[in-house]
Chain A
Amino acid sequence: MAHVEEHDHHEELPFWRKYIFSEDHKVIAKQYMFSGIFWAIIGASLSILFRLQLGFPDMKLEWLRPILGGWIDESGRLDPEFYLALVTMHGTIMVFFVLTAGLSGTFSNFLIPLQVGARDMASGFLNMLSYWFFFVSSLLMFFSLFIETGPASGGWVIYPPLSALPQAMSGSGLGMTLWLLSMAIFIVSQLLGGINYITTVINLRTRGMSFSKLPLTIWAFLLTAILGLISFPVLLSAALLLIFDRSMGTSFYLSEIYIGGEALPNVGGSPILFQHLFWFLGHPEVYIVLLPALGITSEIIATNSRKPIFGYRAMIASMIGIAFLAFIVWAHHMFVTGMNPFLGSIFMFLTLIIAVPSAVKAFNYITTLWRGNIVFTPAMLFSIGLVSFFISGGLTGIILGNSALDIQLHDTYFVVAHFHLVMGAASAFGFLAGVYHWFPKFFGRMMNKTLGYIHFWFTFVGIYLVFFPMHYIGIAGFPRRYYSFTTYEAFRTFGDLNMFVSLAAIMTFSAQFLFLWNFFYSIFKGKKAPLNPWKSNTLEWTTPLHPGHGNWPGEIPPVYRWAYDYSKPGANDDFIPQNVPYSQTPESNLPHENALIALEKEIEAQNYNDQFKQPH
């Protein structure tokens, strides 16, 4: 094979090829991780700014003028238009840049080749391209924060006509143009990444790694990538048509309306059309954000309960179920658009079915924990925290999925509380759990445990303190995205609760600096990690402490068993890694596993796509 030898070189790559324009999945994963953390700091800071406004409407904010400049008006208050920009950018940044690119980009890139037993992604070049498209899109979005007219302010869902008419508000001008441009590039980046993830999982598995032996993390990443591949092009279509409406004067979303007493030249557009297209992505996007976090949790909970995951196949089936249902429930975001009530009840029915696979997952996590020898590492605590948020946020989903109840609760703080718990906080906990768990593999060092515990308790308690009261505020009818509630007497009653929420938010935000310090300090000064610190079964722990490009020196290990042989009765140790053949563990084999010994030779003789014979 001529093309294999092509890769068989050992010369040192120059710095910029090794660390900047790298094609190594591990370096790209770190690039995504650092970018994700950077965006998370920005996104969270924006939320603190608007929480200050909501909790302390009379506060003098002159001290923020050095950063925000003209957005603090003469009386020392936050500019109302900038408040809308803050809400919009907080949503955009958190949903797309942190929990989509940051979460999938980091862990899919890092874990897929390491856990399926591949040298690298199917195309290192496309993978690099994916990161740099994301980088350009990030630059545009970051730049839009600093322009004079302000960033996009029509909400992260950018509904037309508000977003389609530059004259509608100052944020709909240049800020919106940059938003659309940035998102179009972002979608290309996510497609390139997702195509690579799917191809790698399906075509580059090592010998013996059948689909029924894949760790649940990989199943979750695969389904996430499939969701993205099918739904992101639809958002691209929606964005393209919006760009044509804004910049070229077409009328896809704009009908004959009057703005400021003047009729628009547009004819025959439909703003609802945009909502259909947007939510066809928007709803799967929720699972694009959540599924990787659930996959990470499955892995961490099984490892640290020292028990096989409960219902491995049920976990896969429920994830496939969720992924399928994700595409046929989008209109539950649109119950109040004047939709035919009969159609509404169909979407309500389909939406409520999602409770079934979700409940299967929740019960499986709990039964995995049940009577396990639980090791409370920080990663484990964050995973259990995720399960808690998944349940408490999921329950309110059942309420909101009812079209009749949604008419009352639509666009109130109840919705804000629901999705922040079930998708925002849960996915963020998945990210944090993953960082704590795989930090030794990322950097070859350990993070400080005590700081991890403190970080967990402040964050976990803080998040409930922030979002639980919001349910009450929402049921009382407080609409989201409002600048101030003190103007009307009826809304003043919850002023103290809003203040409490803001204080809790500031506490939770401050606790994240503990994590940041722990993270950056441990990269350089952390304790040196052992090869398999959590006594885990998956393949990534069979690589050297600092794996080179190609991951394994010599041959890629073949795989003989599933990833969850923890505390197997009769076994010498409480874990048996995936690459240990049954012939070496006669003491713990079940009868049908003894029969599998005969097939080990066949597994070793299997062909697989080894991209390059030697790591470099």
Chain B
Amino acid sequence: MSETVNFLPVAEEPEETLSMNPKKFILWMFVVSIVMLFAAMTSAYLVRRAEGNWLEFKMPAIFMYSTVVLLVSSASMHWAYRAAKKDDFGVLRTAISITFAFGLAFLVMQFLGWKDLVAQNVYFVGNPSGSFMYVFTGLHAFHLISGLLVLLFALRAAFKLKIHAKNLTQIEVCMTYWHFLDILWVYLFGFLLYFN
């Protein structure tokens, strides 16, 4: 071989195989796809809004309260996770049940919000500004229902004592998804308020 070969950088360290729990990774991939779904929706909203002919209406106040409810459920989710880490089963069950109940309450409040919109004469069919409102809240509610299903499995596992300090994957997956749905709603709510 020629002499130049000797000048090549000598001995790279063997790189560690980068790796995390595949289940958690899959969840993050789902999160990316949901983010893209809503990114497309909100971009469509902005593009359409810039064209004019845009109906302006008041955001129902109940969406403000539902946001608070969802934030509380997120906090109790975190509380449940910390309890699971400490093997504090009583607290875990209480906290995870609270999360589930507040999640349900959020859904009901979203539905009441739709009723308020109808009372304001803002319908799904009509000016796109109103239609987008229903699509955003509806799609988010659809994902929240899927979050409640995940939560239901975690709830069952918690009551069967399957979640403990040595087996946290399930509650971690559940927690990440729930926090994500929470952040997603805060983003949508802020977006709708700002670009009304």
A residues with a Cβ closer than 8 A to B are: 122-123, 126, 191, 194-196, 198-200, 202-212, 229-234, 236-238, 240-241, 244, 248-252, 267-270, 273, 276-277, 280, 569, 590-592, 595-596, 598-599, 602-603, 606-609
CB closest chain-B residue, reference A191: B33
Q: Which residues on the B side are within 8 Å of A207 (C-beta)?
A: 17
B131 proximal to A (CB < 8 A) = yes
Q: How far is the CA of A603 from the CA of B16 in the complex (A)?
A: 8
Whether the pair B30, A195 counts as a contact (CB closer than 8 A) is yes
- Do most interface residues of chain A lie in helix, strand or loop, or is the interface mixed? helix
A536 to B18 Cα, complex, angstroms: 26
Does B128 interact with chain A (Cβ within 8 Å)?
yes
Within the complex, which residue of B12, B17, B44, B131 is in contact with A607, where a contact is CB–CB below 8 Å?
Answer: B17
Q: How many A-B residue contacts, CB cutoff 8 Å?
A: 143
Does any Cβ of A come within 8 Å of B119's Cβ?
A: no
Once A195-B30, A237-B40, A591-B5 are accepted as A-B contacts, the answer to whether A267 and B127 lie under 8 Å apart by CB is yes
Which residues on the A side are within 8 Å of B15 (C-beta)? 210-212
Asked if A233 and B37 make an inter-chain contact with CB atoms under 8 angstroms apart, the answer reads: yes
A210 touches B25 (CB 8 A): no
Residue of B nearest to A226 (CB): B32
CB B42 to nearest CB in A, in angstroms, measures 10
Residue pair A276, B128 in contact (C-beta under 8 Å): no
Q: Are A591 and B10 in contact (CB under 8 A)?
A: yes
Q: How far is the CA of A206 from the CA of B53 in the complex (A)?
A: 57
**A230 CA to B12 CA, complexed, in Å:** 34
Set of chain A residues within 8 Å of B13, measured between Cβ atoms: 599
Question: Contacts A230-B36, A248-B124, A270-B51 given: A205-B17 contact, CB under 8 Å?
Answer: yes
A590 contacts B125, C-beta separation under 8 Å: no
Which A residues are in CB contact (< 8 Å) with B54? 268
Q: Indicate if B34 sits at the interface (CB-CB under 8 A).
A: yes
Residues in chain A near residue B9, CB distance under 8 A: 592
Q: Given known contacts A122-B25, A240-B135, A591-B6, what 11 new A-B pairs fall within 8 Å (CB)? A: A205-B17, A205-B19, A231-B36, A237-B41, A252-B131, A267-B126, A590-B8, A591-B8, A591-B10, A595-B10, A596-B14
| 9 A-B pairs with least C-beta separation | A595-B11, A237-B40, A233-B36, A122-B22, A210-B15, A195-B29, A234-B40, A233-B37, A268-B53
Contacts of A590 in B (CB 8 A): 1, 5, 8
Q: Which residue on chain A has the smallest CB distance to residue B12?
A: A596
Q: Nearest-CB distance from A158 to chain B (Å)?
A: 16
A592 and B135 within 8 A (CB):
no
Contact of B53 among A196, A267, A596, A602 (CB under 8 A): A267
Instruction: List residues of chain A with CB within 8 A of the CB of B32.
Output: 229-230
Q: Is B26 an interface residue (CB 8 A)?
A: yes
Quote the shortest CB–CB distance from B66 to chain A (angstroms).
23
CB of B61 within 8 Å of the partner chain: no
B53: chain A residues within 8 A (beta carbon): 267-268
Instruction: Give the chain B neighbours of A229 by CB distance below 8 A.
Output: 29, 32-33, 36
A276 to B11, CA, bound (A): 49
Contact partners of B18 in chain A: CB under 8 A:
202-203, 211
Q: What is the number of residues of chain B that contact chain A, defined by CB distance less than 8 Å?
A: 45
Query: Can you list 22 A-B contacts (CB < 8 A)?
Result: A126-B26, A191-B33, A194-B29, A199-B22, A200-B22, A203-B25, A205-B17, A205-B19, A206-B17, A207-B17, A211-B18, A230-B36, A233-B36, A233-B40, A234-B40, A236-B37, A251-B127, A273-B48, A276-B44, A277-B44, A591-B10, A609-B22
- Nearest-neighbour CB distance to chain A for B27, whole angstroms, equals 9
CA distance A107 to B92 in the complex (A): 45
Assess whether A237 is in contact with B44, with CB atoms less than 8 Å apart: yes
Contact of A210 among B14, B37, B124 (CB under 8 A): B14
**B20 within 8 Å of A (CB atoms):** yes
- Residue from the set B18, B30, B33 with the largest chain A CB neighbour count within 10 Å: B33
Minimum CB–CB distance for B165 against chain A, Å: 15
Instruction: Tell me how far the C-beta of A206 lies from the nearest C-beta in chain B, rounded to whole angstroms.
Output: 8
Cβ of A276: which chain B residues have Cβ within 8 Å of it? 44, 47
The CA-CA distance from A420 to B48 in the complex, in Å, is 33
The residue in chain A whose Cβ has the minimal distance to the Cβ of B37 is A233
CA–CA, A569 and B39, complex, Å:
53
By the criterion CB–CB under 8 Å, are B17 and A606 in contact?
yes
Nearest CB of chain A from residue B90's CB, rounded to whole Å = 25
Residues in chain A near residue B47, CB distance under 8 A: 270, 273, 276
Residue of B nearest to A234 (CB): B40
Shortest C-beta distance, A285 to chain B (Å), equals 14
CB distance from B51 to the nearest CB of A (A): 6
Is there an interface contact between B10 and A569, defined as CB atoms closer than 8 Å? no
Contact among A202, A232, A270, A602 with B25 in the assembled complex (CB-CB below 8 Å): A202
Question: What chain B residues lie within 8 Å of A607 (beta carbons)?
Answer: 17, 19
- B22 near A204: Cβ-Cβ < 8 Å: yes
- Asked if A203 and B20 make an inter-chain contact with CB atoms under 8 angstroms apart, the answer reads yes
A199, A231, A569, A603: residue with the most chain B Cβ atoms closer than 10 Å: A199
- Taken together as a complex, chains A and B put the C-alpha atoms of A237 and B48 apart, in Å, by 14
Check A608–B8 contact: CB distance below 8 A. Answer: no
- Roughly how many angstroms separate A353 CA and B125 CA in the complex, as a whole number? 43
Contacts of B29 in A (CB 8 A): 194-195, 198-199, 229
Task: Report the minimum CB–CB distance from A613 to chain B (whole Å).
Answer: 17
* Inter-chain contact B51/A251, CB cutoff 8 Å: no
Among residues 97 to 140 in chain B, which have CB atoms less than 8 Å away from a CB atom of chain A? Answer: 124-128, 131, 135, 139
A195 to B24 alpha-carbon distance, docked (Å): 12
Residues B34 and A233 in contact, CB atoms below 8 Å apart: yes
Q: Of B1, B9, B14, B39, which is in contact with the most chain A CB atoms at under 10 Å from its CB?
A: B14
Interface centre among B1, B11, B22, B139 (most CB of A within 10 A): B22
Bound state CA distance, A123 and B27, in angstroms? 12
A234-B40, A270-B48, A591-B8 known; A203 and B19 CB under 8 Å? Answer: yes
Chain B residue contacts of A599, Cβ below 8 A: 11, 13-14
- Complex Cα distance, B20 from A200, in Å, reads 11
The reply to whether B19 and A608 contact each other, CB–CB distance below 8 Å, is yes
Give chain A nearest CB distance to B192 CB in angstroms.
16
Contact with A along B54-69 (1 / 0, CB 8 A): 1000000000000000
Contacts of B135 in A (CB 8 A): 240-241, 244
Given contacts A195-B33, A599-B11, contact A210 B17 (CB under 8 A): yes
Q: Most chain-B Cβ atoms within 10 A of its Cβ — which of A126, A196, A204, A273?
A: A273
Bound complex: CA A592 to CA B139 (Å): 56
> Which residues of A are found within 8 Å of B25, using beta-carbon distances?
122, 199, 202-203
